[in-house]
Chain A
Amino acid sequence: MGEFEARGIRVAAISVDPPEASRDLCSKRGYTYTFLSDPKAEVIRRYDLLDAKAGEQNLARPAEFLLDSSGTVRWVNLTENYWVRATPEEMLQATTLMR
């Protein structure tokens, strides 16, 4: 993940996890990028990523967005299969669009 920062790309992960849960996750796995907490899924809803079938909890479906410095979306990955995610390599490839 350091490769993103080396390319000037900030990585921010968003979930409904409370800040403490994300802090635990970071210290356990050594993640250094930004983790943001959206416990009421307000931003997840604003981005239309709410997975209503996930039961009573309001969870986000997996999704990745690459924004340029003006905040414009340059690349999106909305997976059709829960188990298939963009790999770090694919995301790094996407950052080459920014040059």
Chain B
Amino acid sequence: MQFESFAGVDILLAMTPVAERRWNWLLWAGFLLSVLAFFSYFFFFVQFPLTRNFPWVNLLLFAFAAGFLAVGIRRAFRRSELYRGKALGPILAGLTVLIFGAFAFLMFIVARQLPSSAGAPRAGAKAPDFTLMDTGSKPVSLTELLTAPVHGAAPKGVMLVFYRGYW
């Protein structure tokens, strides 16, 4: 038994000395993995259609993070004489839940907040003409896009790709 003097009162701390309890690395591994699961989508996996269209790699990373945290917390409570983390475990687990919640919210709710574009031209409709500046600040019309030769022949068609912009 270990006793410590605190304000003149002896307080029982634990049955075994604190110093001998091990660092519960699984808790940190789980938490850091969830941070990685969040950011790796936007900085890496978004580049590949296979991992962008559905974020399965990131969800898998979150699952591993949850597993690490579960094992870490379990041993912090069940074998508290050996492992630390009774306070830290639930805190890191709570943060991980928040990170996962933010990720799911961004991926599955915010991402679907797109306009219905009911007035966009449908298949069979004539595409509205326009004139816009190209990268050389030269005006280019849709008619020019449809008629200027591609590889020396009249183009068979034009693929218009609207995107958000990169700045």
Contacts and interface: CB of A to CB of B under 8 A. Distances in A.
Partners in one complex: yes
B150 A67 contact: no
Interface string A64-85: 1111111111111011111111
Interface string A37-51: 110001110111111
Nearest to A94: B159
B162 A81 contact: no
Contact of B158 (A9, A62, A83, A84): A9
A6 B151 CA distance: 8
Interface residues of B, number: 57
Interface residues of A, number: 68
Contacts of B148: 10
B115 A85 contact: no
B135 A22 contact: yes
B117 A61 contact: yes
A85 B49 contact: yes
Nearest to B41: A83
Interface of B: 46, 49, 52-55, 107, 110-115, 117-130, 132-137, 140, 142-143, 145-148, 150-151, 153-167
Interface of A: 4-17, 19-23, 25-26, 34-38, 42-44, 46-54, 59-76, 78-85, 87, 91, 95, 98
Given A62-B163, A82-B110, A82-B114, 18 more contacts: A8-B150, A9-B150, A9-B155, A9-B159, A14-B160, A35-B134, A36-B132, A36-B134, A48-B120, A53-B113, A54-B164, A67-B127, A68-B156, A68-B157, A72-B124, A73-B125, A79-B114, A91-B159
